[in-house]
Amino acid sequence: MSDSSRPGSANSNDTFNISESLVPPRELKTAGQSQVSFDGLLQQPLLLKEDLKEGCGGQLWPAGMVLAKYLLRRHQSTLVDKTIVELGAGGGLVGLAIASGCKIGPSPIYITDQSPMLSLMEANIVLNSLSSTVQAAVLDWGEPIPNIIPKHPDIILAADCVYFEPAFPLLISTLHELLGPDSVCYFCFKKRRRADLRFLKIAKKAFQLSEISDDPDAETYKRENIFVYAIRSKLGTNSKNIARC
């Protein structure tokens, strides 16, 4: 879970036209299995296979841990009757944590990523006996949303999806497709370089962004340059139909 990359410095005068690198370096772990309980928020620890042979999404990253812990703490009982989709799920950490520790249903949680991650997502669903509440699916950013995915889901989860700059417009496009007037995306990322702030600048033009303000751990993870936002469509929201940040 450690990450040795250093965020690039930035200030209000930066134009964000040039990034320091397209893919910042990350410290990778060997394949194995992790067990996480999120400081006791889960009664039964979550088991996660980690395997990097298909890409860096195959291991746990700090933003996923932060987002899962926030949702388990603050939205344990507010997700009932919500349709939920996780983007860039990797092994499925956030979606599986929510399925294990929050009140959800009757719709399953859809954890999605590119096709190389599908078998790892499916293996982790089975490993945690969550086949009845979680479904894995392939969703390529920038491509048409598969029919299996709910149209305009109530809740979208995205953790550590900001690390590959050429994918920024694809992610923005997919968020445009998924976000309905009553949708909210809980978006967590670790700022590693100036390009990450460029993504925020683009997202603020396209959507309504508000930084999460009700997380008691916020001051701790902000020191590690990790941030959590609620992203909504500019079409407007109905506060009765979405979980509030």
pTM, 2 dp? 0.82
Q: How far is CA 160 from CA 66, 171, 204, 245, in A?
A: 10, 12, 18, 19
The share of the chain scoring above pLDDT 90, in percent, equals 72
**Residue-level pLDDT at 58:** 54
Nearest by Cα to 91 from 74, 110, 112: 112
**Residue-level pLDDT at 40:** 94
Binding-site residue set for S-adenosyl-L-methionine:
61, 88-90, 113, 141, 159
Q: Using one digit for the tens of pLDDT, what is the confidence trace for 19-78?
A: 333 334 445 555 688 899 999 999 999 999 977 565 555 568 899 999 999 999 999 999
On average, the pLDDT of the chain sits at 84
- Could you give the angle at which helices 168-178 and 194-206 cross, rounded to 10 degrees? 30
> Could you give the angle at the alpha carbon of 228 between the alpha carbons of 225 and 232, nearest 5°?
140
Binding-site residue set:
61, 88-90, 113, 141, 159
The CATH number of 32-233 is 3.40.50.150
Domain boundaries, the chain: 32-233
